[in-house]
Amino acid sequence: MGISYKGIEYDRNLSQATEIDPYIFYTNSLEMRTSITDFMINFTQHTPNGFVENRNIMMNPSLAKQLRNALDEAINQYEEIHGPIKDIDTLQNEFDEVIKDESN
Protein backbone atom coordinates (compact mmCIF):
# COMPACT_ATOMS: atom_id res chain seq x y z
CA MET A 1 0.00 0.00 0.00
CA GLY A 2 2.59 2.61 1.04
CA ILE A 3 5.30 3.35 3.56
CA SER A 4 4.89 2.27 7.18
CA TYR A 5 6.35 4.47 9.91
CA LYS A 6 5.89 2.53 13.17
CA GLY A 7 2.13 2.51 13.35
CA ILE A 8 1.19 4.90 10.55
CA GLU A 9 0.60 3.70 7.04
CA TYR A 10 1.15 6.40 4.44
CA ASP A 11 -0.62 5.82 1.16
CA ARG A 12 1.16 7.81 -1.56
CA ASN A 13 -1.83 7.51 -3.89
CA LEU A 14 -4.20 9.07 -1.38
CA SER A 15 -1.59 11.43 0.13
CA GLN A 16 -2.82 10.70 3.61
CA ALA A 17 -1.78 8.84 6.71
CA THR A 18 -4.14 6.25 8.12
CA GLU A 19 -4.08 5.69 11.85
CA ILE A 20 -3.27 2.09 12.69
CA ASP A 21 -2.48 2.43 16.39
CA PRO A 22 -5.20 4.11 18.50
CA TYR A 23 -2.50 5.54 20.79
CA ILE A 24 -0.91 7.61 18.01
CA PHE A 25 -1.60 11.32 18.28
CA TYR A 26 -1.22 13.64 15.28
CA THR A 27 -0.02 17.14 16.18
CA ASN A 28 0.17 20.29 14.11
CA SER A 29 1.41 22.66 16.81
CA LEU A 30 3.83 22.53 19.72
CA GLU A 31 5.08 24.58 22.62
CA MET A 32 8.26 23.88 24.57
CA ARG A 33 9.10 24.78 28.16
CA THR A 34 12.19 24.02 30.20
CA SER A 35 13.25 24.06 33.81
CA ILE A 36 16.53 23.20 35.49
CA THR A 37 15.50 19.53 35.62
CA ASP A 38 12.91 18.96 32.89
CA PHE A 39 11.83 19.64 29.34
CA MET A 40 8.09 19.76 28.66
CA ILE A 41 6.65 19.61 25.17
CA ASN A 42 2.96 20.41 24.75
CA PHE A 43 1.72 18.92 21.48
CA THR A 44 -1.59 20.33 20.22
CA GLN A 45 -3.93 19.17 17.50
CA HIS A 46 -6.10 21.88 15.91
CA THR A 47 -8.79 20.87 13.44
CA PRO A 48 -10.76 23.03 10.99
CA ASN A 49 -13.94 22.57 13.04
CA GLY A 50 -12.27 24.09 16.11
CA PHE A 51 -11.51 20.86 17.94
CA VAL A 52 -8.35 21.14 20.04
CA GLU A 53 -6.63 18.34 21.92
CA ASN A 54 -3.35 18.45 23.87
CA ARG A 55 -0.78 15.89 24.92
CA ASN A 56 2.14 16.76 27.18
CA ILE A 57 5.48 14.97 27.30
CA MET A 58 7.99 15.59 30.08
CA MET A 59 11.56 14.33 30.00
CA ASN A 60 14.95 14.91 31.56
CA PRO A 61 17.60 16.93 29.68
CA SER A 62 19.58 13.83 28.65
CA LEU A 63 16.55 12.26 27.00
CA ALA A 64 15.67 15.60 25.36
CA LYS A 65 19.13 15.64 23.80
CA GLN A 66 18.69 12.05 22.63
CA LEU A 67 15.33 13.04 21.10
CA ARG A 68 16.99 15.96 19.29
CA ASN A 69 19.67 13.65 17.87
CA ALA A 70 17.05 11.12 16.72
CA LEU A 71 15.00 13.90 15.07
CA ASP A 72 18.11 15.28 13.34
CA GLU A 73 18.87 11.84 11.92
CA ALA A 74 15.27 11.24 10.82
CA ILE A 75 15.02 14.69 9.20
CA ASN A 76 18.30 14.17 7.32
CA GLN A 77 17.05 10.81 6.00
CA TYR A 78 13.69 12.33 5.02
CA GLU A 79 15.33 15.23 3.16
CA GLU A 80 17.67 12.86 1.29
CA ILE A 81 14.58 11.10 -0.09
CA HIS A 82 12.04 13.93 -0.42
CA GLY A 83 14.12 17.11 -0.60
CA PRO A 84 14.37 20.01 1.86
CA ILE A 85 11.56 20.56 4.34
CA LYS A 86 10.14 24.07 4.11
CA ASP A 87 9.82 26.08 7.31
CA ILE A 88 6.35 27.02 8.54
CA ASP A 89 6.66 30.69 7.49
CA THR A 90 7.50 29.71 3.91
CA LEU A 91 4.55 27.31 3.78
CA GLN A 92 2.21 29.97 5.18
CA ASN A 93 3.41 32.52 2.60
CA GLU A 94 2.91 30.02 -0.24
CA PHE A 95 -0.57 29.21 1.04
CA ASP A 96 -1.46 32.90 1.32
CA GLU A 97 -0.35 33.44 -2.30
CA VAL A 98 -2.53 30.56 -3.52
CA ILE A 99 -5.55 31.95 -1.65
CA LYS A 100 -4.83 35.44 -3.00
CA ASP A 101 -4.57 34.13 -6.59
CA GLU A 102 -7.80 32.12 -6.25
CA SER A 103 -9.74 35.13 -4.97
CA ASN A 104 -8.74 37.26 -7.99
Number of domains composing the chain: 1
The bridge status of strand 39-46 relative to strand 52-59 is: antiparallel
User: Out of 12-21, 26-35, 83-92, which region has the weakest mean confidence (pLDDT)?
Assistant: 12-21
The answer to the question of residue 76 being in a domain is yes
The answer to the question of residue 94 being in a domain is yes
Please state, in angstroms and rounded to a whole number, the distance separating the CA atoms of residues 4 and 2. Answer: 7
Q: What is the mean pLDDT of the chain?
A: 82
Nearest residue to 61 via CA among 42, 39, 43, 40: 39
- The pTM assigned to this predicted structure is 0.64
pLDDT confidence bin for 18, thresholds 50/70/90 = low
Element (DSSP H or E) covering residue 38: none
The answer to the question of residue 96 being in a domain is yes
The answer to the question of residue 34 being in a domain is no
The answer to the question of residue 50 being in a domain is no
